Amino acid sequence: MSRAEKLTDQILEKLKNSDVRVKREDILKRMRLLVEEFKVPESEAVKTIMNYLVKEYGVPREELFERESPLVKISEIVKPNQWISLKAKVVQLWDSNSPNVSQVGLIGDETGIIKFVIWAKAGMNEVEEGKSYLFKNVVTDSFQGRMQVNIGRTSKIVEISEEINLPPREMEIIGAIVSFQQNSGLIKRCNICKRVLSKGLCHEHGKVEGYDDLRVKAVLDDGLNSYEIILNEENIKELVGMSLEDAIRIAQENLDRNSVLSELKQRLLGRYFAVKGIRGGRYLLVRDISFHKPESKDFEELLEALV
Ligand SMILES: [Zn+2]
């Protein structure tokens, strides 16, 4: 393969996820002219042709040219529309309700946690909970007044082995669970991607058998703010002594999976909890949760906040 062909393919590689269709012969012809005929330095030739593609084919600039995206810490993310890179650990994956979204959840570093969205059109490999990655060329965004990072076509995700710690200082919040959100109780997940099934269907993999899981998505209110929290099987077991096996048995005895949800609501809704965790926007990543016996000062604070 000639040098001109190699350089041409390097440029086409950048466009493999692009909507724009570019003819290889067209690029190659120009590349040969520049490199072989006019002896233009290779880097200049590549830049010249990329500029040509932007002008003639309307390829978005950012698909061809690397973004200036400095490595930042999560606490430094305060403005939307900034191109950045960050090293972070995936701390929680949520269910994505939109076919446009591949994955959504929380990532964290030692300075904080933040919501992330990987768009389906980005064509990325999926990230895993507990693993750390370099998220390159991601863009900050503000959604409903909270910062998040969007991962799109021009971003890159590279798994890294370095250990990333979460913020050392966790806060304790005392509040009441004021509501349960969808997909709480005894749920079914896809065997392949772990997404929550909706009417037996996975968003990505269609009809699958699925496996059972127990969790609660809820809103915790401390009188000043409300936080979205997720309680996993372990949290639920510690709080109410119900394991996944118990939940399955309850569902079987009542011939109704919703009976698990009713039972959990009865025991958790409206009750006070002390939650230790890390806050990111309106989300609270639960590390530890226990029942809290409210004192009269809690009610006073709640009342004060309401007035
Ligand atoms: Zn699936």
Distance 125 CA to ligand 1 centre (A): 14
CA of 91 to the centre of ligand 1 (A): 20
Whole-number Å distance, alpha carbon 291 to ligand 1 midpoint, is 35
Element spanning 300, H or E = helix 296-306
Q: How far is the CA of 192 from the centre of ligand 1 (A)?
A: 5
Q: What is the DSSP string of 130-194?
A: T-EEEEEEEEEEEETTEEEEEE-TT-EEEEE-S--PPPS--EEEEEEEEEEPSS-EEEEE-TTT-
| pLDDT the model gives residue 305 | 66
Tell me how far the alpha carbon of residue 77 lies from the centroid of ligand 1, in angstroms: 32
- What pLDDT, on a 0 to 100 scale, did the predictor assign at position 154? 84
The answer to whether residue 294 scores a pLDDT higher than 80 is: no
Task: Encode pLDDT of 207-217 as tens digits.
Answer: 999 999 999 99
Average pLDDT over every residue of 2-15: 91
Helix axes 3-14, 24-32, angle to 10 degrees: 140
Read off the pLDDT of residues 130-150 as tens digits, 9 standing for 90 and up: 999 999 999 999 987 789 999
pLDDT score recorded for residue 302: 67
Cβ atoms of 22 and 55 closer than 8 Å: no
The pLDDT tens digits for 50-88 are: 999 999 998 888 788 876 789 999 999 999 999 999 999
Q: What is the Å distance from ligand 1's center to 126 Cα?
A: 12
User: What distance in angstroms lies between residue 189's CA and the mean position of ligand 1's atoms?
Assistant: 8
Q: What is the pTM of this model?
A: 0.75
pLDDT per residue over 36-50, tens digit each?
A: 999 999 989 999 999
Cα–chain-centroid distance for residue 195? 13
State yes or no: pLDDT of 306 exceeds 70. no
* Predicted local distance difference test score (pLDDT) of residue 262: 97
Mean pLDDT, the chain, rounded, equals 91
Q: What confidence score (pLDDT) does residue 45 get?
A: 93
pLDDT in the model for residue 113: 93
> What confidence tens digit (pLDDT) does each residue in 177-204 have?
999 999 999 999 999 888 889 888 988 8
